[in-house]
Structure 1
Amino acid sequence: MRRAREKSRREPTIALINIVFLMLVFFMVAGTLAQPLDRDLKLIRTADLEGRAPPDALVIDEDGILSYQGTQILSPAAFMLRQEDHAQPDVRLIPDRELSAQDLVRITRELRSAGAGRVLIITERGLE
């Protein structure tokens, strides 16, 4: 007697393909449910606006020199001494684009060790 060959069990790949296809169709339909903007609507352009620092922000130029409200600050610790009226103030930083990441991290650490609560980095946001 010959032994019957065992049939190899095939995985149901057709079922898997059907499920993936249905998910694709679902997400295509769900993605188009949001109402598009009116074609006649003209959005505000901010490209020509003059950028100004918030009045309470610490500005760092590309060489790592700190300034606050137009006055040069010697160190992050000296800046924190000016902020004595707050227990752990939030500090807003505006770094120059050319400032190295190492300098930014170093200044941030110095601010935190001098008593800053949170250090918020203000950046430019571009939507194009």
Structure 2
Amino acid sequence: MRLVKPKRKSAAENVLPLINVVFLLLIFFMLAGALEKADMLNIDPPETLATELPDDTTAILLVDEQGALSFRDEIVGRDQIVARLTAWFAEHPDGRLKLKADAKSDAAEVIALIEELRAVGLKELGLLATGAS
């Protein structure tokens, strides 16, 4: 009886399954990281030096660079926002609102919007910003 010695695998053949597994893990984490819910408008918030995180909120108002508004995942016109917020505050008297404005948006427009929100009866407004690098 003659026994055949098994061929010895080269180093490349031993590493190939490991490379396949690492590649599949890379694809998995790329997809898993991309499944985050995106904002309705493309917003680049200003930077802040504050270190504490804002409290949880029930509603976020987005303002993009051109001044377009998004409230509760809907694009809202400037003339409709007061009515929407009045109805929302009637349903949520203790509700809190946060404003997320683009860093390149006109500051005077944002301040005018905040004044309109104050007329609705807004008691507290959080302004969202990113941390300074």
TM-score (norm 1): 0.52
* 2:130 alignment partner, SS class: coil
Task: Write the distance in 2 (CA, Å) between the matches of 1:51 and 1:70.
Answer: 11
Number of aligned residues: 80
Match of 2:65 in 1: 62
Task: Write the distance in 1 (CA, Å) between the matches of 2:120 and 2:68.
Answer: 17
Return the index of the structure with the highest Cα Rg. Answer: 1
Give the counterpart letter for 1:107 in structure 2: L
Bigger fraction of residues in helix: 2
2:59–2:96 contact (8 Å) kept in structure 1: no
Task: Write the distance in 1 (CA, Å) between the matches of 2:130 and 2:84.
Answer: 24
| 1:87/1:104 CA distance change after superposition, 3 Å | same
* 1:77 alignment partner, SS class: helix
What are the ranges of 5 or more consecutive residues in structure 1 without an aligned counterpart? 1-47
Deviations 1:22-67 (A, max 9, x none): xxxxxxxxxxxxxxxxxxxxxxxxxx99796677211001111110
Match of 1:77 in 2: 82
User: How much identity, in percent, do the aligned residues show?
Assistant: 20
Runs of 4+ more than 6 Å apart: 48-51
Shift of 1:91: 1.4
Deviations 1:66-96 (A, max 9, x none): 1023311123303313412123632100001
TM-score (norm 2): 0.50
What are the ranges of 5 or more consecutive residues in structure 2 without an aligned counterpart? 1-32, 40-56
Greater relative contact order: 1 or 2 (C-alpha under 8 angstroms, separation 6 or more)?
2
- Pairs within 5 Å for 1:43-122: 56-75=59-78, 76-83=81-88, 84-87=90-93, 89-122=95-128
* 1:94 alignment partner, SS class: strand
